[in-house]
Amino acid sequence: MIKKLQKRIAFTLAGILMLIMLGLQLFFYISNYYYYAEYQKQLMEQIADGYINVDAGGNRSESIEGTREDYMADDWYLPIWVFQAGEDGGLTVTQKSSGVMQDDEKVLGTAQKILNLDKSEGIYKRNWYLHKDNVLVMMNDADTIIYYEQQAAIILISGVVGFAVIIICSLLIARWLVKPAARAFEQQKQFISDASHELKTPLAVIGANAQHLKSEIGGNKWLDYILEENVRMGKLLKELLTLAKVENTSLPEAKEKVNLSRIVTGALLPFESIAFEKEIEFWIDIQEDVFIKGEEEHLKQAVIILLDNAFAHVSEHGEIRAKLGKKGKWASVSISNTGLEIPKEEQKKIFQRFYRIDKGRNRAENRYGLGLPIASGIAGRHKGRIEVSSENGQTVFTIFLPVYR
């Protein structure tokens, strides 16, 4: 739980920082590019309208703003061509700046391709162009366009590198932020474990004394209540101790190779007689020789918890199916039963400690909402997971475990 919280904080923080960083970079890049593109467009429009003559020794006539400035040939630092389109679709160079080095034939070929694009303005092979009426203005601005392409590449690379750096920093920050929660969670688990151990002895003494007293004075409803509650508390303490054990991350991981097929089969056998007594159809499908690394006792307990849960909630004369299979790197144990569906909003909550959907019924059956958290903890301890689906009158719990390799 703490690791999930840590990852959630880290990726949320990283996502926010990345959005801010990329947002600012893109804002400045796009705004700068847009301003420059608009400037070039206005310049080409004035050339197309005849307000500016780009020929060597040419000048600017009355401008759109009503001013008049002379632009000699040396002022044009970019190669610029002005073409006139004829009725036959041919192009003629009418103006060109003094810095032009390319031959007219090659330039005319490029201009003809621009006309075929059927677009009034844009960039073609690092040439700005504007097609207005029968006039085509083309401006070779390769250096600037290459600059913007390089800037875009730099933003992309810095985004990738920045994301990696931000992820590392976010993980470190998240680890620091969840330390108090992790410490409190560990203290809570330790308290449950210690309290359960401490309560075992007095609970056993109470049970023994009550049994001895019953043998001396005979039947008594008050003693029966004491013994009944003693049994209930004993079961609760046992489940709390099991939960504390499977959630104890300080214990070494299980490395023993075990036969999951044999474990599941052994867990299923006692329930066949229960199914017969309740007139429930009990279907078993076990794939042979499925091996995993794990603790046999805990794995068997997880399967028993799911089976016990299925028999507790199966519909009258319903059906329960138990299946073990292997696909790729994962083995799966699924237990399904017919009956009432688990609402979608409840499906995640049922793996929380002490959570019970039908509290009255579960209390009457001595169920405390610890079975599924224990099964989930066992799956997690074996680097697996547990999933639930409930639809069309059927509920399926599936434990996924990595196979032994």
Q: What is the pLDDT of residue 180?
A: 78
Residue 318: pLDDT above 70? yes
Residue 4: pLDDT above 80? no
Q: Helix, strand or coil for residue 57? A: coil
What would the DSSP string read from start to end of 271-334?
HHHHHHHTT-EEEEEE-S--EEES-HHHHHHHHHHHHHHHHHHPPTT-EEEEEEEEETTEEEEE
Structural contact between residues 229 and 292, judged by C-beta atoms closer than 8 angstroms:
no
Residues in the chain: 405
Residue 306: pLDDT above 80? yes
Residue 64: pLDDT above 60? no
Identify the top-confidence range among 59-68, 281-290, 365-374. Answer: 281-290
Residue 372: pLDDT above 60? yes
The model's pLDDT over 125-170, given as tens digits with 9 standing for 90+, comes to 888 999 988 899 998 888 888 888 899 899 889 888 888 888 888 8
317's CB contacts (< 8 A; 6+ apart) are 279, 280
Q: What is the pLDDT of residue 345?
A: 83
The model's pLDDT over 19-62, given as tens digits with 9 standing for 90+, comes to 888 889 889 999 999 999 998 899 888 888 888 887 654 444 44
Cα separation, 257 vs 2, in Å, equals 29
Count of CB atoms situated within 10 Å of the CB of 262: 16
CA angle 347, 185, 350 (to 5 degrees): 10
Residue 18: pLDDT above 90? no
Quickly count helices (H) and strands (E) in the chain.
Answer: 8, 12
Amino acid at 236: L
pTM to 2 decimal places: 0.54
Cα separation, 45 vs 132, in Å, equals 8
The model's pLDDT over 217-226, given as tens digits with 9 standing for 90+, comes to 877 778 888 8
Residue 76: pLDDT band with limits 50, 70, 90: low
Q: What is the pLDDT of residue 250?
A: 59
Structural contact between residues 151 and 166, judged by C-beta atoms closer than 8 angstroms:
no
More confident of the two residues 251 and 325: 325
Q: Considering only CA atoms, which of 194, 196, 192 is closest in space to residue 204? A: 196
Residue 286: pLDDT above 90? yes
Count of CB atoms situated within 10 Å of the CB of 244: 20
Q: What is the pLDDT of residue 364?
A: 47
Structural contact between residues 395 and 389, judged by C-beta atoms closer than 8 angstroms:
yes
Residue 386: pLDDT band with limits 50, 70, 90: very high
Count of CB atoms situated within 10 Å of the CB of 62: 9
Residue 260: pLDDT above 70? yes
29's CB contacts (< 8 A; 6+ apart) are 148, 151, 152, 155
Percent of the chain with pLDDT over 70: 84
What would the DSSP string read from start to end of 72-111?
-GGG--S-EEEEEE-TTS-EEEEEE-TT--S-HHHHHHHH
Average the pLDDT over 382-392 and give the result. 90
More confident of the two residues 4 and 395: 395
What would the DSSP string read from start to end of 104-144?
HHHHHHHHHHHHHTT-SEEEETTEEEEEETTEEEEEE-HHH
Count of CB atoms situated within 10 Å of the CB of 85: 17
Q: Considering only CA atoms, which of 113, 133, 124, 137 is closest in space to residue 41? A: 137
Q: What is the pLDDT of residue 396?
A: 94
Q: What is the pLDDT of residue 9?
A: 83
How is residue 205 written in tokens? 């003494």
